[in-house]
């Protein structure tokens, strides 16, 4: 849109308003007709990555119904099925698997669907945690300024000077020290979420702080102050909705990063236990057999991880462009 004065729905003052009959389009139509939706419809990259991401997410969510076997159920596993190549008959059992099996005879397809489920769950939860932490810190730092800002942002700076995977490892290590060994298996996934979430809040805090500082000097915030609205209300009801745009962009890109972080941690062996393999765990297992010729154990989960992360990332990129105020 070239000229901001000309875009958007038409509005005229009293006189012309009477001349032009009011049409009230439905809510669905409004969404379909919005600039963001239009930008999506006209961007092939956005559509393709959206479809791919949606397909993987749906497949992961529906894993218990569409997966051929339940890889978490030890009773269904037959060690004799191990190392069956894709689309080939197993020499001992005669079973065929679309994407082959791993060392324990798990069907790769099922393991991947269940694995993607865990990866996505960890990724989404970690991003949500990072979002809540980051938005809170960013709002406070940006709105209060002064020492609150100084303290929060110095913490953020310090954390940013370490690689986030290192932070996650550190948190993971500390948590392991605290949690009794008997609960480590069950707690592993939650520790993973906290570790990734805590290592990722800085991005949100920074962007929210910047946007808050811009918004708080705008006249609508001053108007709310003149009315005597509580600072808490000003932050949540006035400022927060106006800083959510960039947060959504960061969150989408952050989701791709969190999924990769989970995979990295699991690959390093500090993630979810092999009994409940995520994509990262599957890759770690596969990597052990790569040089002995069982390539499929590594390749298929890796491709899936890559596709998912790439699709989500491209969506994030598109969202950033679509929400760019210059183009609205």
Partner 1 sequence: MADPLIEVRGLGRRFDVSKPWLNRVLEREERQYLTATADVNFSIARGETFALVGESGSGKSTIAKMIVGLLPPSEGQILFDGQDMGKVGTSELRALRRRFQMIFQDPFASLNPRWRVGDIVSEPLRTFGLAKGAEVTREMERLLDTVGLSARDAEKFPHEFSGGQRQRIAIARALSAKPEFIVCDEPTSALDVSVQAQILNLMRDLQDEMGLTYLFISHDLSVVRHMATRTGVLYLGRLVEVSEGKSLFRDPQHPYTKMLLDAVPDLALSGRRRTPVTGEIPNPINPPSGCPFHPRCPVAIDKCKTDVPPSFQTPNGSAACHLLG
Partner 2 sequence: MTEPLLSVRDLVIEFPTRRGVLRAIDGVSFDIAPGEVLGMVGESGAGKSLTGAAIIGLLEPPGRIVSGEIKLKGERIDHLSPAAMRKIRGRRIGMVFQDPLTSLNPLYTVAKQLIETIRTHMNVSDAEARKRAVALLDRVGIPAADRRIDDYPHQFSGGMRQRVVIALALCAEPELVIADEPTTALDVSVQSQIIDLLKEICAEKGASVMLITHDMGVIAETADRVAVLYSGRIAEVGPVASVISEAEHPYTRGLMGSIPTLTHDSDRLVQIPGSMPRLNAIPPGCAFNPRCTQAFDRCRVERPFPIDRPGDRRVACWLYDEQEATHG
The residues pairing with 96 across neighbouring beta strands, listed in sequence order, are 89
CA torsion sign for 240, 246, 250, 255 is: positive
Contact 305, 279 (CB under 8 A): yes
Instruction: Round to whole Å and give the CA distance between 127 and 132.
Output: 9
Closer residue to partner 2, CB minimum distance, 21 or 177? 21
Residue 220 as a binder of partner 1 (CB under 8 A): the answer is yes
- What is the DSSP code (8-state) at residue 218? S
Smallest distance from partner 2 to CB 169, Å = 45
Q: With CB under 8 A, what is the number of residues at the site for partner 1?
A: 22
> Binding partner 1 by CB under 8 A: which of 33, 225, 269, 303?
225
Q: From 12-20, 137-145, 202-210, 247-255, give the range in contact with partner 1 by CB under 8 A.
A: 12-20
Instruction: Round to whole Å and give the CA distance between 301 and 317.
Output: 24
> Binding partner 1 by CB under 8 A: which of 2, 6, 14, 91?
14
Could you tell me the CA-to-CA distances from 17 to 10, 12, 26 in Å, in that order? 10, 5, 20
| Per-residue exposure over 144-173, b if at least 16 CB sit within 10 Å of its own CB, e if not | eeeeebeebbeebeebeeeebbebbbebbe
Residue 226 as a binder of partner 1 (CB under 8 A): the answer is yes
Residue 107's φ and ψ, nearest 5 degrees, are: -65, 125
- What is the DSSP code (8-state) at residue 68? S
Contact 261, 168 (CB under 8 A): yes
Closer residue to partner 1, CB minimum distance, 18 or 79? 18
- What is the pattern of x (binds partner 2, CB under 8 A) and - over residues 28-67? ----------x-----------------------------
Residue 229 as a binder of partner 1 (CB under 8 A): the answer is yes
- What is the pattern of x (binds partner 1, CB under 8 A) and - over residues 306-325? --------------------
Closer residue to partner 1, CB minimum distance, 11 or 178? 11
Closer residue to partner 2, CB minimum distance, 12 or 93? 12
- What would the two tokens of residue 107 be? 């069907």
> Binding partner 1 by CB under 8 A: which of 3, 9, 23, 182?
9
CA-wise closest residue to 199 among 152, 172, 161, 159: 159
Smallest distance from partner 2 to CB 321, Å = 15
Q: How big is the chain, counted in residues?
A: 328
- Binders in 11-30 for partner 2, by CB under 8 A: 11-16, 19-20
Interface residues with partner 1 (CB under 8 A) are: 8-9, 11-14, 17, 22, 218-220, 222-229, 238, 241-242
**Contact set with partner 2 (CB under 8 A):** 1-3, 5-7, 10-16, 19-20, 38
């Amino acid at each position: 849109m070239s000229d901001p004065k000309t875009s958007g729905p038409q509005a005229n003052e009293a006189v012309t308003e009477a001349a032009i009959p009011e049409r009230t389009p439905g809510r669905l139509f409004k969404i379909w007709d919005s600039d963001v939706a239009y930008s999506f419809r006209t961007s092939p990259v956005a559509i393709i990555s959206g479809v791919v991401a949606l397909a993987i997410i749906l497949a992961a969510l529906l894993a218990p119904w569409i997966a051929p076997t339940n890889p978490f159920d030890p009773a269904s596993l037959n060690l004799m099925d191990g190392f069956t190549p894709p689309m080939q008959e197993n020499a001992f059992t005669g079973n065929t698997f679309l994407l082959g099996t791993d060392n324990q005879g798990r069907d790769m397809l099922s393991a991947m669907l269940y694995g993607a489920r865990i990866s996505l769950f960890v990724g989404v939860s970690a991003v949500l945690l990072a979002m809540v932490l980051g938005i809170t810190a960013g709002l406070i730092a940006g709105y209060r300024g002064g020492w609150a800002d100084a303290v929060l942002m110095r913490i953020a700076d310090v954390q940013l000077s370490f690689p986030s995977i290192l932070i996650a490892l550190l948190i993971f290590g500390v948590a392991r020290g605290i949690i009794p060994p008997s609960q480590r298996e069950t707690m592993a996934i939650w520790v993973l979420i906290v570790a990734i979430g805590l290592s990722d809040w800085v991005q949100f805090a920074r962007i929210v702080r910047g946007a808050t500082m811009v918004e708080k000097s705008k006249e609508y915030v001053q108007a709310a102050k003149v009315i005597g609205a509580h600072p808490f209300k000003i932050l949540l009801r006035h400022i927060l909705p106006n800083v959510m745009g960039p947060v959504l962009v960061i969150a989408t890109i952050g989701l791709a990063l969190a999924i990769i972080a989970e995979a990295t941690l699991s690959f390093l062996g500090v993630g979810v236990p092999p009994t409940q393999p995520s994509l990262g765990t599957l890759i770690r297992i596969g990597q052990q057999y790569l040089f002995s010729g069982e390539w499929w154990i590594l390749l298929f989960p890796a491709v899936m991880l890559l596709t998912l992360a790439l699709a989500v990332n491209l969506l994030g990129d598109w969202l950033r462009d679509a929400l760019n105020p210059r183009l609205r």
